[in-house]
């Protein structure tokens, strides 16, 4: 079985390495010779931009990723939906049937009841990675985009998540520079609260250079690997270092015992030392 997080990682790899789209391919290095021999209209018009890049079409990206991970996925979105899903159904407002959240690693489809002409992979935090077309290549889109109409959990994928774990992944997805959304806003709020500012824009939901620097500073402070990627260890460190967990020493001079006692009623857990 393929772990859902490993499938997501393969799609992120294709996105990060600027893969292109060529119809009928599944992880091929596109060459000038391939382009010269092309007959597909879109490939003839736009395929030259992908020479010396790896390429795949939408379902070909799935076929490549599964093969890399020791599995198999049919190269064709209609058959994927009809025969290679353990469960599937309509998608409304980015949720199963409009009510239940998707698990990362779930396939999402365009089309209608009779034709699922395009497929992408939900990777968490409202993001889908898809091989979108010859002009765009592999891109990131939003699960809530109106084009995504159906979902399917794929055969051979171990989602291995109960509802509570799935909710935690939604709240704490893998984040890196270039990401955006609610999870990035939550990250920025936590960093700022812990003394690691995210630039002049503050909490804007965009993982740019200022947020990257804040993450690296926090990772260094926390003894973590300084890579600027917010994974489980960085999230856990952020959760541990809450404001409530910090302690401060405060010295107040010129007050008598009664005044000090009155002040301390506001802080019942404070430790008090009386100086002679």
Query: Which residues are registered as beta bridge partners of 127?
Result: 124, 142
Residue 118 and residue 58 in contact, taking contact as beta carbons nearer than 8 Å: yes
pLDDT tops 90 at residue 97: no
- What pLDDT sits at residue 249? 62
Query: For position 159, what pLDDT does the model report?
Result: 87
247 band by pLDDT with thresholds 50, 70 and 90 = low
Average pLDDT, the chain: 88
Per-residue pLDDT, averaged over 123-147, amounts to 95
In this prediction the pTM is: 0.64
CA angle at 145 for the pair 144 and 146, rounded to the nearest 5°? 105
Whole-number Å distance between alpha carbons of 40 and 173: 38
Averaged pLDDT for residues 237-263:
67
- Residue 250 confidence class, pLDDT cut points 50, 70, 90: low
Average pLDDT over residues 131-152: 96
DSSP code for 102 = P
Q: What are phi and psi of 182, to 5 degrees?
A: -65, -40
pLDDT per residue over 19-66, tens digit each? 999 999 999 999 999 999 999 999 999 999 999 999 999 999 999 999
204 forms beta bridges with: none
- Cβ contact 56:64 at 8 Å: yes
Which structural domains are found in the chain, ordered by start? Answer: 2-164 (3.90.1720.10), 172-245 (1.10.101.10)
């Amino acid at each position: 079985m393929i772990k859902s997080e490993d499938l997501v990682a393969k799609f992120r790899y294709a996105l990060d390495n600027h893969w292109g789209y060529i119809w009928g391919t599944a992880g091929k290095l596109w060459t000038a010779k391939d382009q010269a021999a092309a007959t597909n209209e879109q490939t003839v018009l736009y395929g030259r931009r992908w020479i010396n890049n790896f390429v795949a079409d939408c379902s070909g990206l799935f076929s490549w990723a599964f093969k890399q991970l020791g599995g198999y996925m049919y190269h064709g979105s209609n058959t994927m939906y009809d025969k290679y899903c353990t469960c599937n159904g309509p998608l409304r407002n980015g949720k199963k049937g409009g009510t239940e959240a998707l698990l990362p690693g779930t396939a999402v489809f365009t089309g209608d009841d009779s034709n699922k002409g395009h497929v992408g992979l939900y990777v968490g935090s409202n993001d889908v990675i898809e091989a979108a077309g010859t002009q765009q290549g592999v891109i990131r889109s939003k699960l809530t985009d109106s084009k995504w109409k159906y979902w399917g959990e794929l055969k051979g994928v171990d989602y291995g998540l109960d509802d509570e774990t799935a909710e935690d992944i939604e709240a704490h997805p893998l984040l890196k520079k270039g990401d955006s959304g609610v999870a990035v806003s939550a990250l920025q709020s936590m960093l700022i609260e812990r003394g690691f500012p995210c630039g002049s824009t503050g909490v804007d939901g965009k993982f740019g250079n200022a947020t990257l620097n804040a993450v690296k500073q926090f990772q260094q402070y926390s003894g973590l690997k300084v890579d600027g990627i917010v994974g489980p260890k960085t999230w856990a460190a952020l959760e541990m270092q809450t404001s409530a967990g910090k302690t401060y020493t405060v010295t107040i001079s010129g007050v008598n015992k009664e005044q000090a006692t009155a002040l301390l009623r506001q802080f019942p857990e404070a430790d008090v030392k009386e100086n002679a």
